[in-house]
Amino acid sequence: MNGIPLNHIALGHMIGDIVSDLGGPRFIWQLGVLVLLLGAAWLMARPIARRLHAGHVNDTFALRFAWSSLERAMFPLIGWLLVLGARYALVGVMPISVFRLAAVPLFGLTMLYLTFYVLRRVLSANGELHGMLVLVQRVLTTLMWIGMVLYVLGVLGDVIDYLDGIRFAIGGKQKVSLAAMLMGAVWILLTVLIAMWFGSWLDNRITRAKAIDANLKVVLSRVAKAVLLLVSLLLSLSLVGIDLTVLSVFGGALGVGLGFGLQKIASNYVSGFIILLERSLKLGDQITVSTYTGIVTQIRTRYTVVRNGDGDTLVPNELMVAQAVQNHNERGMVRVAVRVQASYAADPEAVLALLVQCAEGVPRVLTDPAPAAFMALFADSGIEYELGVWINDPHNGKLGVQSALNRAIYRRFKEAGIEIPYPQREVRVLGPLALQQGVSGDAGVPSVDSSAPA
Q: Could you report the per-residue pLDDT of 230-282, keeping only the tens digit for each?
A: 787 777 767 666 666 656 655 666 666 656 656 777 777 778 778 777 777 77
Q: Is the pLDDT of residue 129 over 60?
A: no
pLDDT of residue 241: 62
pLDDT of residue 144: 81
Using CA atoms, how far apart are residues 209 and 207, in angstroms rounded to an integer?
Answer: 6
114 vs 197, more confident: 114
pLDDT of residue 346: 92
Q: At a CB cut-off of 8 Å and minimum separation 6, what does 171 contact? A: 243, 245, 246, 249
Q: What is the pLDDT of residues 165-204, one digit of tens each?
A: 777 666 555 666 777 777 777 777 777 777 777 777 777 7
Q: Is the pLDDT of residue 409 over 90?
A: yes
Q: What is the pLDDT of residues 318-345, one digit of tens each?
A: 888 888 887 776 566 778 899 999 999 9
Q: Is the pLDDT of residue 380 over 60?
A: yes
For residue 307, what pLDDT band results from cuts at 50, 70 and 90? confident
Q: At a CB cut-off of 8 Å and minimum separation 6, what does 146 contact? A: none
Q: What is the pTM of this model?
A: 0.46
For residues 18-46, average pLDDT: 80
pLDDT of residue 53: 78
Q: Is the pLDDT of residue 216 over 90?
A: no
pLDDT of residue 371: 92
272 vs 450, more confident: 272
Least confident of 46-60, 164-178, 366-380: 164-178
Q: Is the pLDDT of residue 73 over 80?
A: yes
The one-letter amino acid at 238 = S
Could you tell me which residues are beta bridge partners of residue 316?
A: 303
268 vs 47, more confident: 47
Q: Is the pLDDT of residue 298 over 70?
A: yes
